[in-house]
């Protein structure tokens, strides 16, 4: 039986909904993420979780921790329990006390217990993509903590372009995670965020990412990680441990017969270092992330989890990761059984460990490492190194410091989850992310006093779970779009389609209510049945008869027609963009638990929209001719290949990266920018006597080489609101450089008719450099063009 049919079978059981949905989601996710798990085992997981959940409802349990000196005073004499020692000393003391079999038990996510040393079993796998999640066996909800704050799916949070918000969300999520840990409901290690580049619009997991731009993805990843991890008063301590995934060049799940377990991503060195690696580099260096997860796919013929250059070489060697490297779930099994990268399982275990893998999500290393050691394929010292990285992470979390209630976050509990402030932040995030793509005069904002009747139509108009996307947890509560709109005006409602697949639209019923209403809101788009993990799209059209429904309702409507797209990826909605009867278009991502309230805030003008698209919306013609499996970012005129993302794509768009309107007109004025930038070179440098197109980045000519850009930004309207200022540059046409790329962005709040000064610091070697064909970063010499809104400013970079 295919694993995708598991939830269908579970529907026939008459169990309590919250237990069923949580247990079903976990079992199904495990089936998706661990391809070798049998359907029977998934059933077992489901029923075990179900009975476990039912047994927990009567009360809370205690957190899991080591060195419980109160219960076992003899543990106080053990070096690894001595908090006065340094972490390296404590880890060394622990490792030397373990047998080989015990050590191997710490290479897998369901880490073994060593009762003689007071170490309990620990589950490493928890998720917190946009709130504490029930995906992963390390976390669950119960009557003690029935839900956690569910923020918008990451793609919408990215659309806020608000770096302080990225961090603030991380702080809330880590506080709720610690609170749940303290009552035995959660772990301390969270395999989030997903910072892969949203390279192709069909990718089912694009919704989990911060979009297509390396700078935005880098800022999001580092900011969210800092919010999750930073521990008050201890720069090396961890509040919870984050994990940046999936390393690297991972963005094909299941497209036309090619799946992630078999896909070989053929990536040029230039694209790897220019596009795919920067978010991970920033996560490690700027965010100081505690973990990086390697992916299922191969990159240029090698499984990422078996590639010593990518793991030990780059993550730990070049970037100096302070933490552990973990495999995606069953990745080691996949490269042995599905990719046939090694002849024996022992060889696979050895290759993974020697490449730099520290922890295996799955059981493969637990089953095959001992034989690999005994067969001489890997020595015990390599095992020691791996588990030392894992133990050091747990030490930084306080796991070996004894009773958590006596520690820094020991007072957190259920009262700190789903607080009013946290739920308001979820609503505020959705408000800031919602993108206004089209707005005809006299359309939005609607007046809540002038509108006496509002027709609300569409398969996503009254949804709950759709709003929180995937890798979700049970939310505090839901406000659906219909509920949010009905709180301000009288509404009539027709779904128009039975679900988003919309095989048959109920056009007449929808037209009827639209014809008699003062305004119409159509809420269309997708859900996890259209785009999801293990589910990439084939086309970019609205599913089924959604387009027909929208067009016919627009024709019949007597007032303004607002089309709302709820989705992770973009759609070809050219038909709506050019239809004068459709007066406004909003994209709301998957807006989280408060999505309906946030939507109403924007539609009725309580909030001035400020979101900007974090990805390009392509026409259907693009995917008709571009295979999802072609990883090349840059266009190829010889073959007609148009390139990918706003940085390289040469074709027409439906909407572009950074697009978004507000209810105010904003003007930019360039107040300060240089026309000439000189790069100092030492005597005898070859570029003093020879004309060079670019310079290798070297410390001696990069130090303190930068300048300021000053912009005056004015709100010409009467409505206050936030505005994102983008600073783009077009570099000289050398080394197949980007058409333009983002140097910086700043979100500012402007009351009506006011002006502010926005300053950007430009680091010449970092911001005005390009990656050459060999993957080397170089300062591009020649004319650079800065773009801010419609403004352009040329400047010359020379020696």
Grouping H, G, I as helix, E, B as strand and the rest as coil, residue 534 is: coil
Give dist(CA 359, CA 352) in Å, integer.
10
Tokens (6 digits) for 538: 């084939």
Which member of 251, 273, 328, 601 is catalytic? 328
Q: What is the largest CA-CA distance in the chain?
A: 81
| Alpha helix ranges (H) inside 230-376 | 269-271, 278-285, 331-337, 345-355, 364-374
304 in Cβ contact with 270 (< 8 Å): no
Consecutive H or E run containing 397: none
Bridge partners, residue 747, by sequence: 724
Work out the angle at residue 299's Cα, subtended by the Cα atoms of residues 133 and 373, and round it to the nearest 5 degrees.
80
Tokens (6 digits) for 136: 């992963």
| Alpha helix ranges (H) inside 64-212 | 87-96, 100-104, 154-158, 163-182
Burial classification of residue 487, based on how many CB atoms lie within 10 Å of its CB (0-12 exposed, 13-18 middle, 19 or more buried): middle
Q: How many CB atoms lie within 10 A of CB 291?
A: 28
Answer yes or no: 601 catalytic. no
Tokens (6 digits) for 664: 């105010």
Output phi, psi for 188, to 5 deg.
-120, -5
Give dist(CA 247, CA 284) in Å, integer.
12
Give dist(CA 490, CA 502) in Å, integer.
26
679 in Cβ contact with 695 (< 8 Å): yes
Output b/e per residue, 154-181; b: 16+ Cβ within 10 A.
bbbbbbbbbbebbbbbbbbbbbbbbbbb
* CA dihedral over 307, 308, 311, 315, signed as positive or negative: negative
Q: Alpha carbon of 560 to those of 181, 330, 583: distances in Å?
A: 49, 51, 6
Residues acting as catalytic residues: 328
């Amino acid at each position: 039986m295919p694993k995708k049919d598991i939830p269908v079978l579970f529907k026939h059981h008459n169990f309590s909904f919250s237990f069923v949905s949580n247990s079903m989601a976990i079992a199904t996710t495990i089936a998706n993420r661990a391809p070798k798990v049998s359907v029977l085992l998934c059933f077992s997981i489901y029923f075990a979780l179900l009975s476990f959940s039912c047994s927990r409802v009567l009360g809370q349990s205690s957190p899991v921790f080591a060195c419980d000196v109160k219960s076992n005073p003899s543990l106080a004499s053990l070096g690894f329990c001595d908090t006065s020692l340094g972490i390296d000393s404590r880890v060394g003391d622990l490792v030397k006390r373990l047998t080989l079999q015990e050590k191997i038990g710490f290479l897998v996510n369901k880490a073994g217990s060593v009762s003689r040393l007071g170490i309990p079993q620990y589950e490493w796998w928890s998720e917190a993509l946009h709130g504490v999640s029930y995906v992963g066996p390390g976390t669950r909800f119960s009557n003690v903590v029935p839900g956690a704050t569910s923020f918008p799916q990451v793609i919408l949070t990215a659309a806020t372009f608000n770096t302080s918000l990225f961090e603030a969300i991380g702080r809330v999520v880590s506080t709720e995670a610690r609170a749940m840990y303290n009552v035995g409901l959660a772990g301390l290690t969270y395999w989030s965020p997903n910072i892969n580049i949203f390279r192709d619009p069909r990718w089912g997991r694009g919704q989990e990412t911060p979009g297509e731009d390396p700078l935005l993805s880098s800022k999001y990843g580092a900011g969210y990680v800092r919010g999750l991890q930073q521990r008050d008063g201890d720069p090396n301590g961890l509040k919870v441990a984050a994990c940046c995934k999936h390393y690297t060049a991972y963005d094909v799940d299941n497209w036309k017969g090619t799946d992630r377990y078999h896909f070989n991503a053929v990536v040029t060195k230039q694209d790897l270092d220019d596009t795919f690696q920067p978010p991970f580099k920033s996560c490690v260096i700027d965010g100081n992330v505690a973990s990086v997860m390697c992916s299922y796919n191969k990159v240029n013929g090698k499984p990422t989890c078996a590639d010593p250059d990518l793991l030990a070489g780059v993550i730990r060697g070049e970037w100096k990761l302070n933490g552990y490297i973990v495999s995606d779930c069953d990745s080691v099994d996949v490269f042995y059984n599905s990719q046939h990268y090694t002849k024996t399982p022992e060889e696979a275990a050895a290759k993974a460990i020697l490449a730099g893998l520290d922890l295996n999500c799955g059981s493969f290393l637990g089953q095959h490492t001992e034989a690999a050691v005994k067969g001489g394929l890997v020595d015990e010292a390599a095992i020691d190194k791996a588990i030392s990285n894992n133990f050091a992470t747990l030490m930084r979390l306080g796991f070996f410091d004894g009773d958590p209630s006596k520690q820094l976050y020991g007072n957190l509990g259920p009262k700190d989850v789903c607080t009013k402030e946290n739920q308001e932040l979820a609503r505020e995030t959705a408000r800031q992310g919602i993108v206004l793509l089209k707005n005809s005069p006299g359309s939005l904002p609607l007046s809540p006093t002038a509108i006496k009747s509002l027709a609300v139509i569409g398969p996503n108009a009254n949804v709950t779970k759709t709003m929180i996307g995937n890798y979700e947890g049970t939310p505090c509560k839901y406000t659906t779009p219909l509920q949010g709109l009905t709180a301000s005006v009288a509404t009539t409602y027709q779904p128009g389609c039975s679900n988003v697949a919309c095989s048959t639209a109920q056009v007449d019923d929808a037209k009827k209510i639209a014809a008699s209403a003062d305004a119409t809101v159509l809420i269309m788009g997708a859900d996890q049945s259209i785009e999801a993990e293990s589910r990439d799209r084939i086309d970019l059209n609205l599913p089924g008869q959604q387009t027909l429904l929208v067009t016919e309702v627009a024709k019949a409507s007597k007032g303004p027609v607002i089309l709302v797209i709820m989705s992770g990826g973009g759609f070809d909605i050219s038909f709506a963009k050019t239809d004068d009867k459709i007066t406004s278009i909003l994209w709301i991502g998957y807006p989280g638990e408060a999505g309906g309230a946030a939507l109403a805030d924007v539609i009725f003008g309580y909030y001035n929209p400020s979101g900007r698209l974090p990805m390009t919306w392509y026409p259907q013609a693009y995917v008709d001719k571009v295979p999802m499996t072609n990883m090349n970012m840059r266009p190829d005129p010889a073959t007609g290949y148009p390139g990918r993302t706003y940085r390289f794509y040469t074709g027409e768009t439906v909407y572009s990266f950074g697009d978004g309107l507000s209810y105010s007109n904003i003007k930019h004025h360039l107040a300060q920018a240089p026309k000439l930038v000189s790069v100092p070179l030492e005597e005898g440098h070859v570029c003093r006597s020879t004309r060079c197109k670019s310079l290798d980045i070297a410390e001696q000519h990069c130090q303190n080489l930068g300048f300021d850009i000053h912009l005056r930004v004015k709100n010409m309207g009467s409505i206050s609101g936030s505005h994102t200022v983008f600073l783009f540059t077009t570099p000289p046409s050398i080394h197949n450089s980007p058409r333009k790329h983002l140097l910086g962005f700043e979100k500012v709040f402007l009351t009506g008719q006011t002006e502010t000064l926005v300053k950007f610091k430009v680091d010449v070697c970092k911001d005005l450099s390009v990656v050459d064909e060999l993957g080397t970063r170089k300062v591009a010499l020649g004319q650079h063009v800065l773009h801010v809104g419609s403004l352009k400013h040329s400047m010359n970079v020379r020696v």
